Amino acid sequence: MGSIALPTSAPRFLVIGAGSRGHAYGRAVTASTDGIIAAVAEPDAFKLKEFGQAYIWHDEQPREGQAFSDWQDFIEWELQRRAGTTAHNASQLPITGVFICTLDKTHAPIISALAPLNLHIMCEKPLALSMSDCLSISRSLAPYPPKVFSIGHVLRYSPHNILLRDLLVNQQAIGEIVSIEHTEPVGWWHFSHSYVRGNWRRATPEGVGSLLTKSCHDIDFLLWLLCSPSTLTGDHPHLPSTITSSGNLTHFRRARKPKKAGNAMNCTNCAAEDVCNYSAKKIYRDKFLHQKNTEWPVKIVIPEIEDIVQSSGWERAEEALMNKLKEDYTADTPDEDKASRGWYGRCVYESDNNVVDEQLVTMTWEEDTTKKETYGRGPKQALFHMTYPTQAQCDRRGRIYGSEGEISYDSKTISVYTFHDQQTKVHIIPKQNPEAEKAHGGGDWGLAGAFVRAVQAVEDGSMSVAEAQREHVGCDLEECIRSHAVVFAAEDARMLKNVVDYRDWWAHAEATMKTSK
C-alpha cells in the first residue's frame, strides 16, 4: 500500500492593527480560507480584546503568544521563542505570516523590523507614504530568503474586476485598448468622515494626500489593465510615458462655511447644524445609530459602541456617541495631539484638513518598439477621476474604448458593445456571500484568499515563491512599488503643474535608491 499523505498544517497569521481593516482580513481569512488567525498586536485594549474574542480565543482567555500590545512586543517574543527560552517554548506553533493593518506611516518601519524574521507579509495599502520609504522596504527585505508579499490592492481581486480584465486582456473583447476613463466617486459624507475629520485628512510633509491614501489601488487597477505582464502584454510591463495631474481642495475649507454657522467649531453647538449636509449628528446618529446600525463609520468614532448597546441599551449608546462628538481641539491644543486622532464632531469647514477632494490624473503610453509584436502595446491613454460630491460611495464606474468596441462598467455590471455586430452583451456579476460582497465587492475576501493560498503553496513545497506570487497573488513587490511610483509621480505633476516624463522620473528614483544604500 502507498503511504497516505498527511494534511499540511494550516498557515497561522498575526494581524497587526485591530481596526476596521484588521477585522476585514480577520473575517475573510476565518470565513473563506484554511488559514488561522493566531495572534493580534494592538495597543488599544478594547480593540485587542474584541478582535481576539472574534477570531482567536473566543470565550476563553488569551494564551501566551496570542495577544501583544504592539508589534515590537511580538518581535521580541518571537525572537525569544526561536531561541527556545524557558518562557517561550520553541516547540510552540510558529506564526507563518503577517497582515499589517496599521496607520500608513508605520508600514515601512514595521516591515523593516519584521524582515529578519523572514515571514510572509500582506501590507494594507498604501505601502508607504513616500517613494523613499517604498524603496527602503524593498532594501530591507532583499538580504533574506524570498517570502510571499502582497498589498491591499483589493480592486484586483473582486469577481467583477477579474472578469473585466479577462474580457480586455485575455478575450480581447473590444480589440486593442485605446483609452480608459475611470472614476472613483468617494461619496459626499464618506469623504468628510475619512478625509476631513478622520485619520487621512492631512497630506504628508511632501504634500502627498488622498490620491495615495484613497485611490492608490485605482491607479494600480489601471496599470493592471494596461501594463502588467500578461498573456497579451508579454513578460515585461508596458510602462506609461507621461503623467499629468490636477486637483484642489474645493469645498472643505473656511471659505465655504455657511454664514449661519458663525464662529461655531463643532456640530454639537452650531446654529447651522440643522441645515448642514455634513452635520456629525445627522451622519453618525441619525443616519446610522438611529437605524440600529453600529458598524462603520459609527464604530470608527466609538469602537466600543456595540458593547455599550448590549450592556446599557440604545439610549446610553447615543449619549456616549454624542459625548464623543463633543470632543474637540482648541487653538492651544498641540499640533501633535490634533494630528494623532480623528475629530468626528468637528466642523468640516474649520478642520485641519489639507488633502484635495477633487483630482484628475492622466497617463499616456507610447508604442513599445522593443517588441516585434506590438498589438496591445500601442499608444493609449488613461484618465482617472477621484471626486467627493457623489451619491455613490466608492462604487467605481468607467468606460473603455477599444479598436473593436467599447465597454462601460460600474460595480455590478459590465456592458460590452462590439462594432462588428453592433450588439451589446451585459455581464451581471452573480450575487456573492453578503459578507464578502460588502467588503469591496468581494475584493477583501479575494485578496486574503489569494495571499493564504500563496503562503500554503510555498509552505507545502508545491510552488516556489515566484510561482506563488504569479499564480496566486498576481503581482510581486516590484509591481507594488511600480504602481505606487505612478502615484508619487502624479502628485509631483500636480504640485509642480508640469508633465512628468515617467521614464526619467523612475530613473531618478532608482538612482536615488542606489546612492542611498
| Cross-sheet strand order for the sheet of 397-402 | 423-428, 413-418, 405-409, 397-402, 177-185, 380-387, 358-365, 242-248, 500-501
277 & 376 share domain:
no
Rounded-to-integer distance, Cα 509 and Cα 136, Å: 12
Rounded-to-integer distance, Cα 111 and Cα 123, Å: 9
230 & 369 share domain:
yes
> Is 186 a residue whose pLDDT tops 50?
yes
209 & 78 share domain:
no
- Band the pLDDT of 514: cuts 50, 70, 90: low
In DSSP terms, 397 is beta-bridged to 183
247 & 281 share domain:
no
Contact predicate 301/318, CB 8 Å? no
Radius of gyration of the chain (CA): 24
Contact predicate 247/494, CB 8 Å? yes
Beta strand 97-100 with 120-123 is parallel
Q: What is the pLDDT of residue 329?
A: 96
CATH number of the domain enclosing 102? 3.40.50.720
Q: Assess if residue 460 is contained within a domain.
A: no
- Band the pLDDT of 488: cuts 50, 70, 90: very high
187 & 294 share domain:
no
Q: What is the pLDDT of residue 4?
A: 33
Q: Assess if residue 224 is contained within a domain.
A: yes
- Band the pLDDT of 232: cuts 50, 70, 90: low
The residue among 83 and 382 whose pLDDT is bigger is 382
Mean pLDDT of 238-259: 97
Q: What is the pLDDT of residue 434?
A: 61
Q: What is the pLDDT of residue 370?
A: 82
Number of domains in the chain: 3
Q: Assess if residue 108 is contained within a domain.
A: yes
Mean pLDDT of 129-157: 95
What is the CB-side half-sphere exposure of residue 496 using CA atoms within 13 A?
Answer: 12
State phi, psi for 246 to the nearest 5 degrees.
Answer: -140, 150
> Is 6 a residue whose pLDDT tops 50?
no
Q: How many residues does this entry show for the chain? A: 517
> Is 233 a residue whose pLDDT tops 80?
no
Q: What is the pLDDT of residue 90?
A: 52
Collapse the DSSP code of 354 into the 3-class scheme (helix H, G, I; strand E, B; otherwise coil) and give the result: coil
Q: What domain range is 329 assigned to?
A: 254-339
Backbone CA torsion sign across 125, 198, 105, 40: negative
Residues 213-231 have pLDDT tens digits of 999 999 999 999 998 766 5
CATH number of the domain enclosing 362? 3.30.360.10
- Band the pLDDT of 439: cuts 50, 70, 90: low
509 & 397 share domain:
yes
Rounded-to-integer distance, Cα 174 and Cα 171, Å: 9
326 & 186 share domain:
no
Please give the mean pLDDT across all residues of the chain.
92
Mean pLDDT of 358-373: 91
Q: Assess if residue 507 is contained within a domain.
A: yes
Mean pLDDT of 426-442: 71
Q: Which of 243, 463, 214, 205 is nearest to 356 (CA)?
A: 214
- pTM of the model as a whole: 0.93
Q: What is the pLDDT of residue 252?
A: 98
Q: What is the pLDDT of residue 1?
A: 32
- Band the pLDDT of 431: cuts 50, 70, 90: confident
- Band the pLDDT of 440: cuts 50, 70, 90: low
In DSSP terms, 248 is beta-bridged to 358
Q: What is the pLDDT of residue 436?
A: 53
Task: Name the least confident of 48-62, 184-198, 351-365, 441-455.
Answer: 441-455
508 & 397 share domain:
yes
DSSP state string for 435-488: HHHTTGGGHHHHHHHHHHHHHHHHHTTSS-HHHHIIIII-S-HHHHHHHHHHHH
State phi, psi for 40 to the nearest 5 degrees.
Answer: -140, 145
Instruction: List, in order, residues 6 or more apart from 1 with CB less than 8 Å away.
Output: none
46 & 146 share domain:
yes
> Is 146 a residue whose pLDDT tops 80?
yes
> Is 517 a residue whose pLDDT tops 90?
no
Q: What is the pLDDT of residue 86?
A: 53
335 & 367 share domain:
no
Q: Assess if residue 445 is contained within a domain.
A: no
Q: SS in 3 state form for 339-384?
A: HCCCCCCECCCCCCCCCCCEEEEEEEECCCCCCCCCCCCCCEEEEE
Domain boundary among 339, 371, 390: 339
Contact predicate 233/376, CB 8 Å? yes
330 & 362 share domain:
no
Q: Assess if residue 345 is contained within a domain.
A: no
236 & 139 share domain:
no
Mean pLDDT of 332-352: 96
Q: Assess if residue 166 is contained within a domain.
A: no
- Band the pLDDT of 371: cuts 50, 70, 90: confident
Residues 276-330 have pLDDT tens digits of 999 999 999 999 999 999 999 999 999 999 999 999 999 999 999 999 999 999 9
Q: Assess if residue 235 is contained within a domain.
A: yes
